[in-house]
């Protein structure tokens, strides 16, 4: 997944459409303004005063957006914009839908957004989890480790059981030399108080790539760090990458707990924090350079006893700017 730059005329139309969506229920929010400004500088590369931009109709936008790939990118960008300052209004989602229809883009993510705005929370969450990386993790857990391992991982994630044999395999990373991937992962789990696979509240093995991305990418576990690691992962993910970004934006900018469990905190408006939107875009671009899809049944065991810089070199994880 790479961020495409439109030509200047299309870029201006796109920015006007973004403001049209952000203004659907009144003045744009702080995070929406920050996101639009970041998009203007980082992706669109145009000189425009967002405050003075005029609205644009869906037909006008469609006439100036000939590229199908660019249309997909833009519609997903509008959805992120709609969620930037909290749960969007029906009017906001209606404008996103109108632009999507004019561009000929039908996407299940937009259906999820509409369900959220209409407060159909059960349908919203069930479909979101099925299509998002959470569903991918469960399917990969089943494919890689079997039915019993999937069942144990679900019960363990809820803190109901512990698989001592599996946990001991991961706890052994403590004994690896300093600076290796495995030792760095063990330190990451201890520092954050997270459960390793097999431990109570530990995540399934098939989802461990998320934590590897934190460690290999050097991303924190605060809201901005979680948004960055989701964006970084979306950069290399081949299957439905936008769901990763929407999942993180829902939790950390819209204040919606999209997780499969009831625990975990949420925040509102993280994209309005200084530099957050720019770092999100940079993480997508950085992830797009990674040489393999780490989310798709990646075998991390050959990297565990490797120096972390060597692992980054082999995977083409470049240092963050």
For residue range 115-153, list pLDDT tens digits in order.
Answer: 999 999 999 999 999 998 888 889 989 999 999 989 998
Asked whether residue 191 falls in the same domain as residue 59, the answer is no
Q: Is residue 3 part of a domain?
A: no
Asked whether residue 256 falls in the same domain as residue 306, the answer is yes
Residue 40 has pLDDT above 80, yes or no: yes
pLDDT given for residue 67 in this prediction: 86
Number of structural domains found in the chain: 2
- Calculate ∠ Cα 261-240-118, nearest 5°: 55
H helical segments located in the chain: 8-22, 30-39, 58-63, 68-83, 90-103, 108-117, 121-131, 133-145, 147-157, 164-171, 181-192, 209-217, 223-236, 242-252, 276-288, 308-315
Q: Is residue 320 part of a domain?
A: no
Residue 174 has pLDDT above 90, yes or no: yes
The residue out of 126, 150, 175 marking a domain boundary is 126
Asked whether residue 242 falls in the same domain as residue 268, the answer is yes
Alpha-carbon gap, residue 99 to 1, rounded angstroms: 22
- The tokens of 144 are what? 């890689």
Asked whether residue 302 falls in the same domain as residue 207, the answer is yes
The residue out of 126, 159, 181 marking a domain boundary is 126
Q: Is residue 2 part of a domain?
A: no
Contact 181, 303 (CB under 8 A): yes
Asked whether residue 122 falls in the same domain as residue 138, the answer is no
Residue 222 has pLDDT above 90, yes or no: yes
For 21-59, the three-class secondary structure string (H helix, E strand, C coil) is HHCCCCCCCHHHHHHHHHHHHHHHCCCCCHHHCCCCCHH
**pLDDT tens across 242-301, in order?**
999 999 999 999 999 998 877 778 999 999 999 999 999 999 999 999 999 999 999 999
Asked whether residue 90 falls in the same domain as residue 22, the answer is yes
pLDDT given for residue 2 in this prediction: 84
pLDDT given for residue 241 in this prediction: 93
Find the CATH number of the domain harbouring 18.
1.10.3680
pLDDT given for residue 157 in this prediction: 86
pLDDT given for residue 113 in this prediction: 94
**pLDDT tens across 51-97, in order?**
999 999 999 999 998 889 899 999 999 999 999 999 999 999 999 99
Q: Is residue 321 part of a domain?
A: no
Asked whether residue 80 falls in the same domain as residue 153, the answer is no
The residue out of 72, 105, 126 marking a domain boundary is 126
Domain that holds residue 240: 133-315
Rounded mean pLDDT of 157-173?
Answer: 94
Asked whether residue 44 falls in the same domain as residue 182, the answer is no
Q: Is residue 1 part of a domain?
A: no
Q: Is residue 38 part of a domain?
A: yes
pLDDT given for residue 69 in this prediction: 87
Asked whether residue 262 falls in the same domain as residue 144, the answer is yes
Asked whether residue 102 falls in the same domain as residue 202, the answer is no
Asked whether residue 119 falls in the same domain as residue 191, the answer is no
Better-predicted residue by pLDDT, 261 or 240: 240
pLDDT given for residue 270 in this prediction: 96
Contact 61, 99 (CB under 8 A): yes
Q: Is residue 50 part of a domain?
A: yes
pLDDT given for residue 290 in this prediction: 98
Residue 321 has pLDDT above 80, yes or no: no
pLDDT given for residue 262 in this prediction: 72
pLDDT given for residue 265 in this prediction: 87
Asked whether residue 117 falls in the same domain as residue 167, the answer is no
Query: Taking all residues of the chain, what is their mean pLDDT, rounded to a whole number?
Result: 94
Q: Is residue 116 part of a domain?
A: yes
Alpha-carbon gap, residue 297 to 99, rounded angstroms: 36
């Amino acid at each position: 997944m790479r961020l495409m730059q439109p030509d200047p005329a299309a870029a201006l139309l796109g920015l006007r459409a973004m403001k049209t969506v952000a203004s659907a229920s009144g003045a744009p929010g702080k995070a929406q303004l920050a996101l639009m400004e970041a998009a203007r500088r980082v992706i669109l590369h145009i000189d425009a005063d967002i405050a003075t931009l005029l609205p644009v109709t869906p037909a006008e936008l469609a006439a100036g957006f000939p590229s199908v790939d660019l249309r997909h990118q833009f519609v997903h960008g509008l959805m992120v914009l709609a969620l930037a300052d909290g749960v969007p209004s029906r009017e906001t989602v209606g404008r996103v839908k109108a632009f999507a229809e004019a561009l000929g883009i039908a996407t299940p993510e937009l259906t999820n957004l509409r369900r959220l705005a209409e407060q159909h929370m059960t349908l919203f969450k069930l479909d979101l989890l099925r299509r998002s990386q959470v569903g991918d993790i469960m399917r990969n857990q089943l494919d890689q480790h079997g039915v019993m391992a999937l069942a144990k991982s679900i019960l363990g994630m809820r803190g109901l059981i512990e698989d001592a044999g599996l946990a001991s395999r991961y706890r052994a990373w403590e004994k690896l030399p300093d600076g290796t991937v495995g030792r760095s992962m063990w330190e990451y789990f201890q520092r954050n108080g997270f459960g390793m696979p097999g431990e109570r509240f530990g995540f399934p093995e098939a989802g461990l790539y998320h934590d590897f991305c934190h460690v290999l990418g050097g991303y924190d576990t605060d809201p901005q760090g979680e948004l960055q690691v989701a964006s970084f992962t979306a950069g290399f993910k081949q299957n439905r990458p936008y769901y990763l970004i929407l999942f993180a934006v829902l939790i950390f900018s819209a204040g919606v707990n999209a997780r499969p469990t009831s625990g975990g905190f949420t925040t509102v408006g993280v994209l309005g924090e200084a530099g957050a939107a720019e770092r999100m875009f940079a993480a997508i671009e950085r992830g797009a350079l990674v040489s393999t899809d780490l989310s798709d049944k990646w075998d991390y065991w050959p990297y565990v006893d490797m120096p972390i810089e060597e692992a980054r070199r082999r995977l083409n994880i470049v240092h963050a700017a």
